[in-house]
Every structure is written in C-alpha cells, then in structure tokens.
Chains A and B, each alone.
Chain A
C-alpha cells in the first residue's frame, strides 16, 4: 500500500517537472491567410488521371517546365482512385499498338509487383483478357516518382477557378487548401476528362442528355459463390455475387481470369464539378449500401461484408470538346487512318446503357483505330490541347476511345505537341504532325502508320 502511494506521488512529481516545459512549447499561431503567389511554366497539365499523368511525365521529359494540377490526393485517376486497376488495351491482333510512357508505367508496376504479363501474341476471345492488372498502390507511387524525376511540379488538392488567355499565354487561377495560385502557362493541356478547362476557356463542349452510368468499385467477402443456391436468389443479384469471389477480389494478370471486379452502377455520374462529383459519390455509396443490406437477407449471404471500397465513383462519360476533327464511330470501326494520326486505340465500341445492357461493336480482324492530332485541339483555340476521354469524338466512338491505354497514348501525344509548340512559339494546330510523330518515336511511343 505504501509502495503504491509512493509510486503515485512520484508520478505527480515527475509530471510536475515535465508539464511546464511542455506547456512552454505551445505558442499561438497567427490566423492563417491564404497564400497567394504567381508562378509561370511552359506547360500546365490540369488533371492527374490516366491521361494527365502521362502527359505531365512526357512534358517534363522533353525539358519543358511542367506543372500538374490534381484535385485529389494521388495520381492515376480511374486506374487508381476509381479502382479500374487493369488498364488496357495495349495490344491488338498479336502486336503492341500502344507503348511509350503509359506502357512503361504499367510494366514497371507489373515488374515491381512480381506479376506476369499475358501472352499478347495469343489473340483472346474476350478483348478484356489483354488488360493488364496492376497493383494500384504501386501504380500511384511509380506515377508520382516518374513525375518528380521528370521535374514535374505536382499540385495536389487544387483546382482551377479561372482561365483566361492573355498575350499568348494562359493565366490559370488555381485554388487549393489554403493556397491561391496564379499560373502563367505557355501551353495548357486539359486532362480533366470532362473538358472543364476547355469550357472555362470559352471553347464549345458537348454531350448527350443521357450519359453512361459510372461505377463505384468495391470488394466483399463472407460468402462462397460456388455454394450458393442461385435458384433461391433473385436474378438481379446474380451478377453482383458472381463478380465477387470469396477467395480474392484481386484480379491476376493472365488470360484465364474471368472475374473483373465488383461494382455498382451510378446513373448520371458526372465528375465535372465538386457538386456533381459529390453527388455521384454519394449515390454510389447509397447504392452499394442498399445492395449490401439486401444481399445479407439472401440465403448463404448472411455474412457478406464489404472489404474495400474506392473513394470515388469512376465516371465513363461527361463532356467532349468540339475539336478541329471529330472522330466518328465509322472512323473508329473502320480503322480509318488520318495523316495526323498520333496514337492508336483498340477497344470495342462499348456503350453501357441504363444498366441493363452494353452496346458493343467489335473491330474486324486486323483493324485498329487511331487518334488524329486535330481531335485533341478545340476549334478556334490557341495553345490549348486536351487528352483523355474528352477528346473530340461522337458518342459511340468515345465509348471506345475512353479506355485507359488510349487515354495514355493521347496524353503522351498531347504533351509532345505542346512541347514542340513551346519550342517553336506556335499554337499546336500549326505544328507539323510529322515532327510530333518523330518526337513521339524518340520517347518510345508507337505512331500509327
């Protein structure tokens, strides 16, 4: 008893000795004032998603001073934050058609994760079997490392609030947590996926009234799909239960995999603004919550639980620019090759309709679509390019062009065009596409021919 009280008193004494010094370390901080600064760059890339990450790395590697604005906290977009961690398609009909920085990043992620590539020389019956599964955490870190190595200044948590064109340069006001920055850029690349910057700059953007649904990606466990009695489970749940496997939700790279990932559709999902994206995220979470509650009522599914959920709803379709050239579905499925084609694209026309069906139209053997430079340049624009799903295209062509490998190819192409524009002091529309092609090859890209 004595010993206990002694220890107690010792504790009080020692606390008494330490506490004053701790409290002396405290100090009042002046009220925070938003940090304002003006900076300049050669190339400003807005959006660090699938296309923007590649565009920024490429721009940096050409030696151009490059800034990348990303509204979230990491790079990769749909591939990482959205959970569609199996980018494709880089190969068609037994040949590689998209390489360059996008492939470098994917391959590095595959190598670092100890994965194995599919045998691309074997033409699969299902196109998605040539998508390459990547570990999204590794992809995020590698993407960032490559940006930093290329000298790219990454600005997370920021978004442009004003875009003006003055004296041949873009002035972009970018606002983030406690910062407000005015960035002067010689060339601007809109990689938001939503053509938001193009629209803010005053260029025409368009979309249909109805858009494809987005997807909130998740995984769950606690049931065994092989032992469920599907005759006792309403049909509407079969897909969700088949998408998810008890053993693992992680898709291994290979040709025999058939479980892509678990997702719930989010109708009308639009990531263009904070408000629309918030709505899409909330809707996705509500849909998933509802589904989980319903699934747990089903026989054999009583113990189902969510094991992971992406922080954002991945979006398939929002706005597209009205470009110098609009890629049509006929262009796409016929593999029409234009003189200024800078990159290939390979995917079926793939329009997710109202959640009930997907309209698909496959390319004929040995047909590969391509992306002309003019589809990346808004009409009447100066020193402005886009890359990613907001390129100029009709809706059906866009449903094929929107996939990751194609967006990566576009990102690299747009950055090379922008770098030449910086060097030559010309707007991208006036750059000789052959020079763009030549430089793209130097950086490992595959140029349509």
Chain B
C-alpha cells in the first residue's frame, strides 16, 4: 500500500515537474518581436565557421543570417555563473536577437531570474550599437572603494553612474558581457565575411532588411563595380524616394557608376533632383547627374520646361550640367537666350557667360546676347 502511494506521489511529482518544464516557455527575444530567426535547423542549409558560428542560408544558397552559441560564464564576486546562449546577427552584423536552450534563463546578482520586462530591456540594450560599453572596462562597471586593493572582478557594489541607465538593474555584468559578445569579434568577422562576398544577391538581402542599420550598412558598402541588376535598381529607387532623408541621401551616394548609363534610371534621378526638398540628397543627386556618361536628350528637353520654376541655384547647377555634359544644341541655347531676361543679374550673367563660350552663330541667340550687353 505504502509503496503504491509512493509510486503515485513519485509519478505525480515527475508529471508536475515535467509539465512545469514543458509549459515554461523557451527564453527567446528577437528584434521586432519576430521569431523568424529562432533556430529550426531541420530544413535549413548552413555553413559553419569553427564549431560555434554558423551562416544560415536559403535553399538556393543565399545568405540569410548568422548565429553563434556561447557557453561561457559571467564572473563577479569571485564566482562565475554559467551563460548558455545563442546570439543572432543579420548578414551585415546587426543584432537580431538571442535565445537560450529550454530550461535555461538569465539571472541577476541576487539569483532572481530575469522577468519578461527585463528580457525586453536587455533585448533593446543589445540592439543599440552606440552604447558606450566599448570604452568601458569590466572593472568600471561598479563603483570602486577609494582604497581598494582587491582585484576588480572580486568587487560588487553600486552600479557605476556612467552605466546605470543602460544596464538591466542588478545585472550589470550580464548586460555588459552580452553586449560585448554581440559587438565583439564575431560581429567583426560577419561584417568582413559579408563585405568580402558582397554581390548583387546578398546586397539585395541586406537592403531589403527590416532593420534600418542593415540598410545603411548595405548602402555604405556598395561597390562602384557592381554590375547592373534590375531588382537592386528598383530597391535603390524606393530608398531614394523614401521619406527617410538619411536613407535617401545614402542611397544616392551608393549608386554604382554602371547604373548611370541607364537612361530610365537617370530620368528618375533627374525628377527626384527637381522634386526633393532635402538639400543633402539634392546635392548628391546633382553630383551623380553631372558624372553620368551621357545626359539623354529627352531629359534635356524636360530641363527646358523646368527652368521657369527652378530656384536660382538650380539654374546655375543646370548650366554646370549642360557644360559638363557638352549640351549645346540650338534649342537649348535658345531657351537659355530667352532666360537672359531673368531679373536676377547673377543668373543672367552666368547664362550670358555660358552662351558666349559656345560661340554660336544663331541669329536669335546673338540678338539676345547683344540686347543683354546693351540693355
């Protein structure tokens, strides 16, 4: 009787513990609350670098993301607590999230496990590459006693003022350690690897990322030698036309030279140049237009119609564009000759100088020049 009771009790306890384990959710937090990066290796291709860093790939071999498993310790007060965690990065090295094996959890200095709010805070901290941790040494995390002679790792005290707002409360060492892992050697390797293997396909993956940092990274790493690739062109156009002026500015900057031979693309650039209100984007758009191998005639014609509504400096820039692109067809000269009547002397003088240099023998243009000279 007693043995059967024991059996029941044991079975009950086993089931209770088992269900606790099974019901307890796995700790995993990702950027944008998405679980698309969570490990599910059954249907995935991957390449390993060493025994812990992996590149996840799509079925056709295109890079998707990186992850790395860390089995390390967070040490303070002369004790080390094990840390079993997997970190995820995009192919440009942006932090994507972390997950832990089932049953594992993070805890604080008082051994309390992290609660959901603290995990969310940690996830946010890890996503911020600009935190000053990189300039802070491990021993600077806690305020040091004035006359301390102990080794730095053996002291726990009040969290340093410098970092108290950027760490999970009572988990400064864990926060710091994880941040350093996210932005450490692995990230450096990922960035270098992707940069070395950058081609149209993986660049498009980066530019299509939901993470703005990825997009900026992709734009600032685009090479001038990239071959023309329509999907990439379309993505560039959407970024150039975005309301985010920093993305727009960098997207224009990133345009490879080869793309400037595409007249449709040039037309989009020219229309954006005329319409954008962001001075920085406008400036780089102009520098692209002026260095294009050719400025198509249909855009020249569009420019004639735009002159009356152009701001003064846009007219001056247009003259520079005409000069650099060797545009001196008679119709353009006539349009400019008519603009000699512009009430701003600075503009009319620049137009006059432009026309004089061309040395045309067209009667209308010559008449306008004569009238300008002798108003």
Contact = CB atoms under 8 A, between A and B. Distances in A.
B365 to A, nearest CB: 22
Contact of A62 (B278, B280, B283, B346): B346
Contacts of A303: none
Nearest to A258: B135
B246 interface: yes
B260 to A, nearest CB: 17
Contacts of A149: 316
Contacts of B360: none
Contact of A63 (B135, B244, B246, B344): B344
Contacts of B311: 442-444
A61 B312 contact: yes
B130 interface: yes
Given A120-B246, A121-B246, A443 B313 contact: yes
Interface in A31-66: 60-63
Interface stretch (A16-24, A103-111, A391-399): A103-111
A108 B280 CA distance: 9
Contacts of A122: 130
B274 interface: no
B312 A104 contact: no
Contacts of B246: 117, 119-121
Contacts of A150: 346
A62 B283 CA distance: 20
Contact of A444 (B249, B279, B287): B279
Contacts, number: 58
A99 interface: yes
B163 interface: no
B279 A61 contact: no
Interface in A211-259: 255-256, 258
A151 interface: yes
B220 A116 contact: yes
Given A99-B279, A116-B220, A442 B312 contact: yes
A233 to B, nearest CB: 18
Given A63-B346, A121-B244, A442-B311, A111 B216 contact: no
Interface in A263-286: none
A96 interface: yes
B283 A104 contact: yes
Given A107-B280, A255-B130, A443 B312 contact: yes
B216 A119 contact: yes
Interface string B273-300: 0000011100110010000000000000
Nearest to A42: B345
Majority SS at the chain B contact face: helix
Interface residues on B, range: 20 to 34
Contacts of B220: 116
B286 to A, nearest CB: 11
B346 A151 contact: yes
Contact of B346 (A61, A117, A255, A256): A61
A117 B130 contact: no
Given A63-B345, A116-B220, A96 B312 contact: no
A149 B347 CA distance: 11
Interface in A115-170: 116-117, 119-122, 149-151
Contact of A108 (B283, B343, B345): B283
Interface string B184-227: 00000000000000000000000000000000100010000000
A127 B307 CA distance: 40
A335 to B, nearest CB: 22
Contacts of B235: none
Residue of A108, A119, A151 with most chain B CB atoms under a 10 A cut-off: A119
A255 B283 CA distance: 22
Contacts of A444: 279, 311, 313
A117 B280 CA distance: 10
Contacts of A116: 220
Interface string A184-204: 000000000000000000000
Contacts of B312: 61-62, 442-443
Contacts of B180: none
B349 interface: yes
Contacts of A62: 312, 344, 346
Interface core residue of B246, B280, B287, B345 (most chain A CB under 10 Å): B280
A325 to B, nearest CB: 28
Contacts of B287: 111
Contacts of A117: 246, 249, 280
B130 A256 contact: yes
A62 B249 CA distance: 28
Given A121-B244, A442-B311, A443-B312, A60 B279 contact: no
A122 B216 CA distance: 13
Interface in B107-150: 130, 135
A111 B283 CA distance: 9
Interface string B297-311: 000000000000001
Contacts of A442: 311-312
Contacts of B316: 149
A98 to B, nearest CB: 10
A434 B245 CA distance: 28
Given A119-B216, A444-B311, A103 B346 contact: no
A100 B280 CA distance: 10
Contacts of B245: 96, 120-121
Given A117-B249, A121-B246, A442-B312, A63 B280 contact: no
A117 B347 CA distance: 31
Interface string B325-364: 0000000000000000001111111000000000000000
Contacts of B216: 119
Nearest to B278: A96
Nearest to A101: B313
Contact of A107 (B135, B279, B345): B279
A65 to B, nearest CB: 8
Contacts of A61: 312-313, 344, 346
19 contacts: A61-B312, A61-B346, A63-B345, A63-B347, A63-B348, A96-B279, A100-B279, A103-B280, A104-B279, A104-B283, A108-B283, A111-B284, A117-B249, A117-B280, A120-B245, A121-B245, A121-B246, A442-B311, A443-B313
Closest 6 CB pairs of A and B: A63-B345, A63-B344, A63-B346, A99-B279, A119-B246, A61-B346
Given A117-B249, A117-B280, A444-B311, 12 more contacts: A61-B346, A62-B312, A63-B347, A63-B348, A103-B279, A107-B283, A108-B283, A111-B283, A151-B346, A151-B349, A256-B130, A442-B312
